[in-house]
Chain A
Amino acid sequence: MTETENQRIDLQSVFAAGEVLVEDFVEDLVVWSIRQRSLHHLDLRAALIFDLVDGHRPVTDIVSALEGEFDIDRTSLTSDIMLCIEHLMSVGVIDYVGKIPP
């Protein structure tokens, strides 16, 4: 993604699964990015984020959904999720869709 002002990732950003093949191993996933021809192992946290990325839910809702799943404060959790989303996007596992209206 070419980062523009509109596409800068924030809590209102929405993402969807990219063009991928997925193998589910209950706790973690193995995902093949068709576009980038690369294979990725998603651990439990990344797999949960990937499952919640549905083309409609903004990042802030993903943070809320995962709050309580991990022994970590909301600020740190938000930071971790943003980093994970940026990584998954960079390797073609998820795609940026847009932002929900403020």
Chain B
Amino acid sequence: MPRGAIGRYRAHEYEFLIAESRTASATLLLERTFGDLQIPNPPWSREPTPTYLLNGPDEGYWSVSVDGAHVIRGALSTALSGLMWHVNQQATRSPMLTFLHAGAVEKDGRVVVLAAPMESGKTTTTTGLLRAGWRYLTDEAVGLTGADGLAHPYPKPLSIDPGSWPLFPDLAPDGLEDKPNQWLVAASRIRSDVVAGPGPIGLICLPRYQAGITTAATALKPAELVMQLAHSTFHFPDGADRHLPRLAQLARDVPGFSINIGDLRSAITVIEELAASV
């Protein structure tokens, strides 16, 4: 590893290094935040690996660059969010996989996928399910392969928005000198064995949070499910010839439900009942 590197990480097929800042507290924060993505260093040198450098503080600001190219500058929490955003972009570019914009959890060898756009309650529901004993694949991008039909994990730190902070007060990050716009929380803070490996999908849920409504699930026809999943697929138009058959097969094999979520507790109950029934 290059001098100053904290560790090697993998986000789906995208491997990268994160390199040292100047302060021990920031290093510790990086290790805590991204630890679930860390992989061992190979004993020999391989192809050049993209390296993210967190630099600062410089008059209170931190900056992130990747191989010298500027990514973001701001408060420490902003810099970490920017690093995460950049990694997310790279992680969903592999031509080998179909990436659903979705959370995913696993229990008893079966994966539940929560596919939805931003602000739909994916991360909140995912976090709630982890609390209920499920294991973690991702809160952002599920990788699908055509051949084995497995969901592949991307155990990035949970991105918890302010609206959900009161639900998980014990997950508040420490070590930040600023007030973040979003919490980045390693899922292993919930349980040390929380990260799951690849697994077959047993249920697909399309959550939509709306305060005050009654939580209820509606079964989707396979064609309706494909339409929804396509909208949640990264770069679908650029690889429709690969993505569409995979999504269609998934929709034929796995039941899908639209779930209107009024509150987290009832959402967990509904999803666990659906998972038990399929």
Asked if A pairs with B, the answer is yes
Interface residues of A (CB under 8 A from B): 21, 23, 25, 27-30, 32, 34, 37, 39, 41
Nearest to A31 among chain B residues (CB) is: B244
Q: How many residues of B contact A (CB 8 A)?
A: 16
| Contact A21–B224 (Cβ < 8 Å) | no
Residue in contact with A21 in the complex, picked from B223, B227, B244, CB distance below 8 Å: B244
Q: Among residues 237 to 270 in chain B, which have CB atoms less than 8 Å away from a CB atom of chain A? A: 237, 240-241, 244-245, 248, 251-252
CB distance from A98 to the nearest CB of B (A): 29
Q: If A23-B245, A30-B244, A30-B248 touch, does A39 touch B221 (CB 8 Å cutoff)? A: no
Residues of B within 8 A of A23 (CB): 223, 226, 244-245, 248
Q: Is B180 an interface residue (CB 8 A)?
A: no
Residue in contact with A28 in the complex, picked from B223, B237, B240, CB distance below 8 Å: B223
CB distance from B229 to the nearest CB of A (A): 10
Residue in contact with B224 in the complex, picked from A29, A34, A41, CB distance below 8 Å: A41
Q: Is B222 an interface residue (CB 8 A)?
A: yes
Q: Is B230 an interface residue (CB 8 A)?
A: yes
A32 to B240: give the CA distance in the assembly, Å: 8
Residues of A within 8 A of B224 (CB): 41
A25-B252, A27-B221 given; 9 more Cβ-contact pairs under 8 Å: A23-B244, A28-B221, A28-B223, A30-B230, A30-B244, A30-B248, A39-B236, A41-B223, A41-B224
12 contacts between A and B (CB under 8 A): A21-B240, A23-B244, A23-B245, A23-B248, A32-B244, A37-B237, A37-B240, A39-B230, A39-B240, A41-B224, A41-B226, A41-B227
Residues of A within 8 A of B244 (CB): 21, 23, 30, 32, 39
| Contact A39–B223 (Cβ < 8 Å) | no
